[in-house]
Amino acid sequence: MLAVALTVTAVLLQLTVLPLLHLPGAVPNVVTVTVIAIGLCAGSVRGAIVGFLAGMLIDLAPPSIATLGITALVLVLAGFAAGLFGQDPDRPLFLICGFSSLTCAFTVLAGTLVAGIVGDPHVTWSRVPGILVSELIYGALLAVAIVPLVTWLWVRVAPPTGRKP
Amino acid sequence: MWESRRLRTIIGLLVLTSLTLIVLSLKGGGATVRTGAQGAIGPVQNAVASVTRPIRDFFTGLGSIGSKDQTIADLRQKNDELQGQLSTNQYAQNRAKELDDLLKIASAGNYKLVPAQVVSVGPDQGFAWTVTIDAGSIDGLKVDQDVITGQGLVGRVVRVTKSDATVELLVDATSTVGARVERSMSIGFLNGTGEARSMEFQLLDPFAEIRSGDRLVSFGVRGGIYVPGLPLGTITQISGTPGQLTRVATVVPFVDVNSLDLVGVIVDPPRTNPRDALLPSAAPSAAASSQPSTGSQSSTGSDAVTPDASSAPSPSS
């Protein structure tokens, strides 16, 4: 299935390829933007399911040692929100970029809050502002590339009948 | 109507499952699942890391772009090729340098090292500082072994599968290592803060004298997790006055975790404590004074804090 293939690719990119390029700021969050793109194409239910799978993969894949399930929780919300935002061919790209940027920042805030509430020992509040800024920027930049690509693939590969709110 | 109810049910289920997992994970579950996942995903990451190496080389050596003239298109192509070769050369040189440093520190400390490549890095959003390396139990790795670079201690192995190992870095917020001030030999604990370039050193003796610029080495006991004498970092700032109950110093680690590439795992620790012999010689006076102290320290005392040094001559002979 296309969504699963895209998710796995995004997770591998995120954990294995991108960190070793040493780009400025936090590592670009390809997975969140991919979940958003799939949510935009496939609707809330499938967006949330894909978000859950992607989050579990991030939480389980090495080298993760942080609390299991936090990324899954925030990406469920991201996929769900993207589904509500929905797909509209007439919508300008900058709106999608803005949405992606804000959602990426929201996932970081929500994840940090949940981790802080449940007492995850890894939470480092002093790193949050820096990560937030780079999420806002990379979230918008990545959306320019990923959302059109996923939409194009989705129209090509997935059956067009399955578009639901 | 049916649609919205189904929506609510599914979202609710997913959120509940996530929350359940979080609680279970906090209660200590999930370790076996993680090891299973690492066994399955690790080899894929190894493959992806080796396949994408040329892309990384390209990015690290990304240089100039030629002119837009059509007639020199072939020249540009040639230029790009050479540029690519150049960046690859640069990368090969860097790696050779890293290996060289590792070999040097290994021979100075009499370690048996297994070299390994970083293949994946934990997401920033999770805050944990962990990496996966492409060496596993078939290379002789075990949990709690030390990971170093030519600069000093990087972290320790926390999970091992057949072909991969997860390493918790020193700067992780949950990491603690016993440390010794090179100059005064006073000991304390070096804690990770979760920040890449700043750690906290807590002195055990509140009256011990420390200065900004003092260097720290690991203080390990035989059979403990950390090998003694590994370079850790430099003290940059000291808060609190002598005698105050908690005196904390800020330490910049020798190893820059943001540019980790080639590392070594100590699979066989040395029999004797190399003390601070692994630190790069900063000033000639410091190096000269540290040389005799390694010999005299074991005979003159401080037996309570250096069990390996005082017990080394008697059982071995």
**Distance of alpha carbon A135 from alpha carbon A41, whole angstroms:** 22
Peptide bond into B292 cis (omega under 30): no
pLDDT over 50 (residue B62): no
Query: Is B48 within a domain?
Result: yes
Query: Is A87 within a domain?
Result: yes
pLDDT over 70 (residue B60): no
**Distance of alpha carbon B113 from alpha carbon B108, whole angstroms:** 12
A165 → closest Cβ in B3, B21, B261: B3
Please tell me if residue A20 touches chain B, with a CB cutoff of 8 Å. Answer: yes
**Distance of alpha carbon A80 from alpha carbon B185, whole angstroms:** 57
Closest listed residue to residue A8, CA positions, set A44, A73, A57, A48? A57
Residues 6+ apart with CB under 8 A from A21: B56, B59, B60
Extract the tokens encoding B199: 């750690």
Residues within 8 A of B (CB atoms), A 106-145 only: 107-108, 111-112, 114-115, 118-124, 126-127, 131, 135
Q: How many CB atoms lie within 10 A of CB B36?
A: 12
Please tell me if residue B123 touches chain A, with a CB cutoff of 8 Å. Answer: yes
Domain count, chain A: 1
Contact A16 B167 (CB under 8 A): no
Which of these ranges, A103-112, B264-273, B293-302, has the smallest mean pLDDT? B293-302
- Range(s) of the domain holding residue B109: 34-167
Extract the tokens encoding B37: 């996942």
Q: What is the pLDDT of residues B271-314, one digit of tens each?
A: 666 556 667 665 444 333 443 433 333 333 333 333 333 333 33
Please tell me if residue B207 touches chain A, with a CB cutoff of 8 Å. Answer: no
Q: Which residue of A has its CA nearest to B48?
A: A16
CA A53 to chain centre: 11
Is residue A69 within 8 A of residue A54, CB to CB? The reply is no
| HSE toward the beta carbon, residue B244, CA cutoff 13 A | 10
Query: Is A56 within a domain?
Result: yes
Q: Where does the pLDDT of residue B125 fall: very low under 50, low under 70, confident under 90, or very high at 90 and above?
A: confident
> What one-character DSSP code corresponds to residue B110?
T
Phi-psi region of B105 (alpha: psi -120 to 50; beta: other; left: phi over 0): alpha
Q: How far away is chain A from the Cα of B117, in angstroms, using its nearest Cα?
A: 11
Q: How far away is chain B from the Cα of A115, in angstroms, using its nearest Cα?
A: 9
Q: How many CB atoms lie within 10 A of CB B138?
A: 10
Q: Where does the pLDDT of residue B270 fall: very low under 50, low under 70, confident under 90, or very high at 90 and above?
A: low
The residue type found at A62 is P
Q: How far away is chain A from the Cα of B272, in angstroms, using its nearest Cα?
A: 32
* CATH code of the domain containing A91: 1.10.1760.20
| Angle value at C-alpha B249, between B245 and B255, nearest 5 degrees | 145
pLDDT of residue B307: 37
Query: Is B69 within a domain?
Result: yes
Closest listed residue to residue B61, CA positions, set B36, B32, B91? B91
Residues within 8 A of B (CB atoms), A 30-59 only: 44-45, 48-49, 51-52, 55-56, 58-59
Burial of A141 (0-12, 13-18, 19+ CB in 10 A): middle
Chain mean pLDDT for chain B: 75
**Distance of alpha carbon B241 from alpha carbon B243, whole angstroms:** 6
Please tell me if residue B131 touches chain A, with a CB cutoff of 8 Å. Answer: yes
> What one-character DSSP code corresponds to residue B227?
P
**Distance of alpha carbon B78 from alpha carbon B71, whole angstroms:** 13
Chain mean pLDDT for chain A: 86
Domain count, chain B: 1
Query: Is B57 within a domain?
Result: yes
pLDDT over 90 (residue A33): yes
Question: Is residue B167 classed as helix, strand or coil in its secondary structure?
Answer: strand
Query: Is A157 within a domain?
Result: no
Extract the tokens encoding B62: 């990304």
Is residue B265 within 8 A of residue B253, CB to CB? The reply is no
Q: Where does the pLDDT of residue A160 fall: very low under 50, low under 70, confident under 90, or very high at 90 and above?
A: low
Extract the tokens encoding B256: 């820059």
Query: Is A144 within a domain?
Result: yes
φ, ψ of residue B137 in degrees (nearest 5) = -65, -30
Higher pLDDT: B154 or B310? It is: B154
Q: What percent of chain A has pLDDT over 70?
A: 95
Q: How many CB atoms lie within 10 A of CB A126?
A: 10
Contact B123 A71 (CB under 8 A): yes
Q: Residue B127: its chain A contacts at CB < 8 A?
A: 66, 112, 115, 120, 122-124, 127
Encode burial over B82-121: b for 16+ CB neighbours within 10 A, e otherwise: ebeeebbeebeeeeeebeebbeebbeebebebbbbbbbbb
- Range(s) of the domain holding residue A116: 2-15+25-152
Q: Where does the pLDDT of residue B221 fall: very low under 50, low under 70, confident under 90, or very high at 90 and above?
A: low
Q: Where does the pLDDT of residue A72 fall: very low under 50, low under 70, confident under 90, or very high at 90 and above?
A: very high
Extract the tokens encoding A54: 């992607």
Query: Is A163 within a domain?
Result: no
pLDDT over 50 (residue B46): yes
Q: What is the pLDDT of residues B85-100, one digit of tens each?
A: 665 566 667 777 777 7
Extract the tokens encoding A7: 């998710």
Is residue A99 within 8 A of residue A36, CB to CB? The reply is yes
> What one-character DSSP code corresponds to residue A162?
G
Q: What is the pLDDT of residues B66-92, one digit of tens each?
A: 334 445 677 667 677 766 666 556 666
**Distance of alpha carbon B265 from alpha carbon B84, whole angstroms:** 31
Extract the tokens encoding B3: 């649609």
φ, ψ of residue B29 in degrees (nearest 5) = -80, 175
A62 → closest Cβ in B7, B21, B41: B41
Q: Which residue of A has its CA nearest to B4?
A: A165
Query: Is A138 within a domain?
Result: yes
A16 → closest Cβ in B25, B45, B194: B45
**Distance of alpha carbon A122 from alpha carbon B257, whole angstroms:** 16
Query: Is A158 within a domain?
Result: no
**Distance of alpha carbon B159 from alpha carbon B56, whole angstroms:** 27
The structure's pTM equals: 0.75
Please tell me if residue B62 touches chain A, with a CB cutoff of 8 Å. Answer: no
Q: What is the pLDDT of residues B136-153, one digit of tens each?
A: 999 889 888 899 888 889
Question: Is residue B79 classed as helix, strand or coil in its secondary structure?
Answer: helix
β-pair type (B146-148, B176-181): unpaired
Query: Is A39 within a domain?
Result: yes
**Distance of alpha carbon B161 from alpha carbon B137, whole angstroms:** 6
Mutant choice from B18, B52, B157, B167 vs A, greatest count of A C-beta within 10 A = B18
pLDDT of residue B252: 93
pLDDT of residue B308: 39
Query: Is B97 within a domain?
Result: yes
β-pair type (B146-148, B262-268): antiparallel
